[in-house]
């Protein structure tokens, strides 16, 4: 009897187990006894799937400086003779993991997890030294012991995406995190240029390309290269709603924070704006706006900020296209409230003719009263308000971007307090591609007796002299300012009257890029050349001023060569020279009694290695030198080896 009882108990236990497995493994709630089996019968609730991808990037530079170049004249500190730097002073980390998932209702979410590797986590005299054994992680218990990185967290935060349809149209939402958005050139976007740049020194955000030679091949054939989703966009954190409405209408609305807001101050600040667009068979029309408001106190009693509203029109007729954006803007603060000013940009482009030629004509005018640091144009005219006294660019600063004075910019890069025209062309002829343009512009108001210029050759080497900081008025003569991956120089003019500017400033640009493709020993060879010239003078000229009538004139030439040495290896060469001259109305050296006479040069060699699927190794060796023959202390020279390993997964 006991044996029969045990068998009966086992039989009942098997049936209970089977029902339990059916209920939970099959994820089915079914009251009918006819539903058998352990396979899914209904879609699972909650998250449908989770995707994980990202990249790892190792980057290091070994720099040897041959001269004791002075970093800060007041402190007397100089560049290190030898410097080995592991990591990159960039916005992208060593390791980035993208995690995303889809929800049952059609919504989705995504987040980024990033990690910076700072060796022993200290930036100071001990930075870069050997890590003591007591500070190393315990291999038996790594999570609970000391860690070398000490910097792991979300990079852009978590973003929730939603898509839904209503009788009023299809809608999508993005909430939280940091998103990359563009509204229009004059409201919210970043400078794209005309795809004329140098590929030798890689950017931290550069993708790998289809194959080891694909990046250079694409640049030759298409005139551009693949960029990440930040290209042409601006960072935004908050809520974004986009809708496709009936009758070809579309709308976008956003509220949150842009680069105009934020910082370490605890006072309220936010931005809002959007776009209302109507599409036609011949083009489109739109109303765009972006506004920012910052408060100077926690009680939100006193504020400063900006407003921008524009009308955008795109029309296409027989291959020709006209794109115009007209509107007004205003910047206000407790120290500045000049009212509204005008802004406009009009572009006329031609189709590509049978001989491969096409052109684009651009006219623009940006009032000095318009300030918007997340638009296409820079602020060169209006001092901006700051909540605290920490300089802009320093940790903890609440300052917005300060004016760049009268900036000499690249062709296509515009500023406020400026009006002008640009003419660009492109000509494709078999294995030769030509691209270039000229530009002429003038300041609207005389607001500054200073000019700022950049240095295209060795600009990244120069910017790495001041790592993890963006100081202004540094260098042996206190005339350089370090910004993200670049350095600009400030020049003071002497032809004013007791600080009052007497003459208007006129700016001229000229650019030419030549690209050639050929075969050498049955392997592809690509040659790229970029030539630039620009000037600033007090008289109008249709072309670049090459005489001493110009306050400042600058010329640069950069050449690149890429050759498929083997199937998985690319050999590259780089050479660049730069010349910058000032007349006697600019700064004069107290010892030589001469204006600036600058000469920069750089040349290098590199190798790209294909390490397998989604993994590449890039090695670059560069030699560099810069000298101002009038200002003896402004002279540096050296060499730099960079190694980058990047792998996507």
The domain that holds 249 is classified in CATH as 2.40.170
Residues 414 and 523 in one domain: yes
pLDDT of residue 42: 54
Coil vs helix vs strand at 220: helix
Residue 36 pLDDT class (50, 70, 90 cuts): very low
Total number of domains constituting the chain: 2
pLDDT of residue 388: 58
In a domain, 587, yes or no: yes
User: For residue 17, is it left (φ>0), alpha (ψ between -120 and 50) or beta?
Assistant: alpha
Strands, E assignment, 216-367:
234-245, 249-257, 269-280, 283-295, 303-317, 320-333, 336-349, 357-366
Calpha distance 489→594 (Å, rounded): 17
In a domain, 354, yes or no: yes
Q: Take residue 99 and report the two structure tokens written for it.
A: 């995690």
Instruction: List, for residues 133-155, the tens digit of each pLDDT value.
Output: 666 666 667 666 665 555 566 77
Mean pLDDT of the chain: 84
Residue 129 pLDDT class (50, 70, 90 cuts): very low
Q: Which residue has the higher pLDDT, 338 or 104?
A: 338
Instruction: List, for residues 485-520, the tens digit of each pLDDT value.
Output: 889 999 999 998 877 899 999 999 999 999 999 999
Residues 27 and 90 in one domain: no
Calpha distance 347→325 (Å, rounded): 9
The burial of 37, by beta-carbon neighbours within 10 Å (0-12 exposed, 13-18 middle, 19 or more buried), is given as exposed
Residues 35 and 90 in one domain: no
In a domain, 410, yes or no: yes
Residues 37 and 59 in one domain: no
Calpha distance 296→338 (Å, rounded): 19
Residue found under tokens 């206000």: 332
Calpha distance 74→76 (Å, rounded): 6
- Of 12-21, 439-448, 465-474, 632-641, the range with the lowest mean pLDDT is 12-21
In a domain, 138, yes or no: no
- In sequence order, the β-bridge partners of residue 433 are 428, 515
Calpha distance 75→456 (Å, rounded): 28
Instruction: List, for residues 521-566, the tens digit of each pLDDT value.
Output: 999 999 999 999 999 999 999 999 999 999 999 999 999 999 999 9
What number is the average pLDDT over the span 289-304? 85
- Of 96-100, 253-257, 270-274, 289-293, the range with the lowest mean pLDDT is 96-100
The answer to whether 188 and 375 are in contact (CB under 8 A) is: yes
The answer to whether 104 and 48 are in contact (CB under 8 A) is: yes
Calpha distance 234→230 (Å, rounded): 7
pTM of structure = 0.84
- In sequence order, the β-bridge partners of residue 37 are none
In a domain, 624, yes or no: yes
Residues 57 and 184 in one domain: yes
Instruction: Kindly state the percentage of the chain with pLDDT values over 70.
Output: 82
In a domain, 141, yes or no: no
Residues 111 and 221 in one domain: yes
Residues 593 and 614 in one domain: yes
Calpha distance 338→350 (Å, rounded): 39
pLDDT of residue 24: 40
* H helix runs in 91-230, sequence order: 214-222
What number is the average pLDDT over the span 35-54? 61
Name the phi and psi angles at 382, rounded to 5. Answer: -110, 120
DSSP 380: -
What number is the average pLDDT over the span 113-133? 54
Name the phi and psi angles at 134, rounded to 5. Answer: -70, -20
Q: Does the pLDDT at position 12 exceed 50?
A: no
Residues 37 and 53 in one domain: no
3-state helix vs strand vs coil in the chain, percent to 5: 5, 50, 45
User: Domain range holding 19?
Assistant: 2-42
In a domain, 126, yes or no: no
């Amino acid at each position: 009897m006991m044996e029969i009882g045990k068998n009966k108990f086992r039989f009942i236990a098997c049936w209970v187990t089977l029902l339990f497995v059916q209920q939970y493994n099959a994820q089915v709630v079914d009251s009918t006894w006819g539903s058998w089996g352990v396979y899914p019968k209904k879609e699972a609730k909650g998250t449908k799937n989770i995707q994980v991808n990202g990249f790892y990037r190792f980057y290091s530079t070994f720099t040897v400086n041959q001269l004791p170049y002075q970093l800060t004249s007041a402190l007397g500190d100089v560049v290190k003779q030898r410097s080995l730097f592991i990591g990159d002073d960039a916005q992208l980390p060593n390791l980035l993991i993208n995690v995303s998932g889809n929800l049952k209702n059609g919504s989705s979410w995504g987040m980024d997890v990033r990690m910076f590797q700072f060796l022993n986590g200290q930036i100071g005299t001990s930075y870069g030294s050997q890590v003591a054994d007591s500070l190393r992680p315990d291999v038996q218990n790594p999570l609970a012991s000391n860690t070398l990185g000490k910097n792991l967290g979300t990079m852009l935060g978590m973003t929730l995406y939603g898509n839904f349809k209503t009788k009023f149209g299809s809608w999508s939402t993005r909430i939280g995190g940091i998103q990359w958005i563009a509204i229009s050139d004059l409201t919210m976007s970043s400078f794209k240029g005309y795809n004329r740049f140098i590929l030798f020194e890689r950017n931290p955000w550069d993708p790998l390309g289809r194959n080891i030679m694909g990046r250079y091949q694409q640049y030759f054939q298409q005139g551009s290269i693949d960029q990440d989703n930040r290209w042409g966009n601006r960072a935004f954190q908050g809520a974004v709603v986009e809708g496709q409405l009936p009758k070809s209408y579309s709308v976008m609305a956003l509220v949150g924070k842009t680069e105009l807001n934020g910082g370490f101050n605890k006072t309220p600040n936010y931005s809002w704006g959007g776009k209302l667009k109507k599409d036609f068979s011949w083009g489109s029309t739109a109303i765009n706006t972006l506004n920012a408001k910052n408060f100077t106190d926690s009680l939100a009693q006193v504020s400063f900020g900006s407003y921008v509203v524009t009308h955008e029109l795109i029309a296409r007729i027989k291959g020709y296209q006209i794109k115009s954006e007209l509107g007004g803007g205003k910047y206000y603060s407790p120290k500045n409230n000049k009212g509204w000013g005008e802004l406009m940009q009009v572009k006329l482009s031609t189709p590509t003719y049978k001989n491969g030629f096409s052109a684009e004509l651009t006219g623009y005018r940006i009032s000095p009263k318009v300030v918007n640091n997340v638009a296409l144009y820079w602020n060169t005219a209006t001092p901006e308000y700051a909540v605290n006294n920490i300089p802009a660019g320093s940790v903890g600063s609440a300052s917005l971007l300060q004016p760049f004075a009268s900036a000499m910019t690249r062709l296509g890069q515009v500023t406020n307090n400026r009006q002008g025209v640009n003419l660009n062309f492109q000509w494709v002829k078999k294995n030769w591609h030509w691209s270039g343009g000229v530009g002429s512009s003038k300041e609207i108001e005389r607001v500054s007796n200073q000019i700022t210029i950049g240095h295209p050759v060795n600009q990244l080497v120069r910017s790495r002299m001041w790592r993890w900081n963006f100081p202004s008025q540094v260098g042996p003569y206190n005339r350089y300012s370090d910004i993200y991956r670049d350095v600009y120089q400030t020049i003071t003019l002497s032809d004013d009257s007791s600080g009052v500017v007497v003459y208007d400033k006129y700016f001229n640009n000229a650019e030419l890029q030549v690209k050639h493709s050929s075969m050498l020993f049955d392997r592809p060879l690509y040659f790229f050349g970029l030539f630039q010239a620009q000037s600033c003078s007090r008289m109008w000229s249709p072309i670049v001023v090459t005489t001493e009538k110009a306050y400042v004139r600058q010329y640069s030439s950069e050449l690149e060569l890429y050759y498929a040495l083997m199937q998985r290896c690319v050999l590259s060469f780089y050479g660049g020279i730069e010349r910058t001259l000032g007349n006697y109305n600019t700064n004069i050296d107290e010892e030589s009694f001469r204006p600036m006479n600058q000469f920069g040069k750089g040349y290098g060699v590199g190798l790209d290695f294909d390490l397998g699927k989604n993994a590449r190794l890039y090695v670059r060796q560069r030699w560099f030198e810069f000298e101002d023959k009038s200002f003896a202390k402004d002279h540096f020279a050296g060499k730099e080896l960079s190694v980058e390993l990047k792998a996507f997964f």
